[in-house]
């Protein structure tokens, strides 16, 4: 598949029964020692989780998504109770819920991918498929919280959520830049992705670590 120019992690199967390490080395031309650490694809296309650090990052992202959802919902409820003075706050709160849902759905698919959903997510939100892109995404969402500032209807939760997202984003970037051996083990979900699907989304940035 290397001829299509896909990311290293796009390896949707092993029809000839070869070891997955061999397939990765053949496709990506990387050092065998690194390839051995990448983990193997199962028969269903699910990648290995790459160690405890990556699993903890995924679980942390799920918690951040739940926290952001709570912030968005509580903000909308408080705005409804106090009356619509400024429409920007409920509008931003609705976006927070959508951003949180996007993060949570991706992390669920990292554990148990759904082919059709994974294909659509990869095509439209390719930046989620790498630690660096996801880290920058978390930092972006954090500043949405800080943008509400002290005027937020639930200010304490707002600042706590923003700080948590910022810490989460920096954690992802720390792994990318200071723990490359761990970052190399990250395996984005590939189930449902074919070479044609990948080419359709080839313009998306940050698809790999």
> If you write DSSP's letter for every residue of 181-209 in order, what string do you get?
HHHTT-----TT--HHHHHHTTT-S----
CB atoms within 10 A of CB 126: 21
pLDDT digits (tens, 9 = 90+) for 146-199: 877 666 778 888 899 999 999 999 999 999 999 999 999 998 888 877 654 444
Q: Whole-angstrom Cα distance, residue 143 to residue 182?
A: 27
Q: For the residues 104-128, what does the mean pLDDT come to?
A: 89
Domain chopping of the chain, boundaries: 51-200
Q: Is the dihedral of CA 58, 63, 69, 75 positive or negative?
A: negative
Q: For the residues 104-133, what does the mean pLDDT come to?
A: 90
CA trace torsion 139, 143, 145, 147 (10° rounding)? 180
**Segment among 65-74, 76-85, 190-199 with least mean pLDDT:** 190-199
pLDDT score at 199: 45
Q: Is the pLDDT of residue 32 over 80?
A: no
What's the whole-model pTM score? 0.66
pLDDT score at 105: 93
């Amino acid at each position: 598949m290397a001829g299509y120019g896909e990311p290293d992690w796009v390896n949707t199967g092993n029809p000839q029964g070869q070891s997955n390490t061999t397939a990765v080395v053949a496709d990506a031309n990387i050092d065998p020692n690194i390839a051995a650490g990448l983990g193997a694809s199962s028969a269903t296309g699910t990648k290995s989780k790459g160690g405890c650090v990556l699993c903890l990052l995924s679980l942390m992202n799920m918690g951040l998504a739940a926290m952001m959802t709570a912030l968005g919902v509580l903000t909308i409820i408080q705005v409804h109770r106090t009356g619509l003075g400024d429409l920007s706050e409920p509008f931003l709160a609705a976006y927070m819920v959508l951003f949180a849902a996007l993060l949570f759905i991706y992390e669920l698919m990292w554990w148990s991918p759904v082919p059709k959903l994974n294909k659509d997510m990869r095509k439209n939100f390719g930046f989620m498929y790498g630690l660096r892109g996801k880290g920058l995404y978390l930092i972006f969402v954090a500043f949405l919280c800080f943008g509400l500032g002290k005027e937020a209807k639930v200010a304490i939760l707002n600042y706590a959520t923003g700080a948590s997202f910022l810490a989460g984003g920096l954690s992802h970037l720390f792994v990318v830049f200071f723990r490359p051996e761990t970052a190399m083990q990250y395996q984005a979900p590939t189930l449902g992705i074919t070479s044609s699907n990948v080419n359709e989304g080839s313009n998306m940035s940050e698809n790999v670590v």
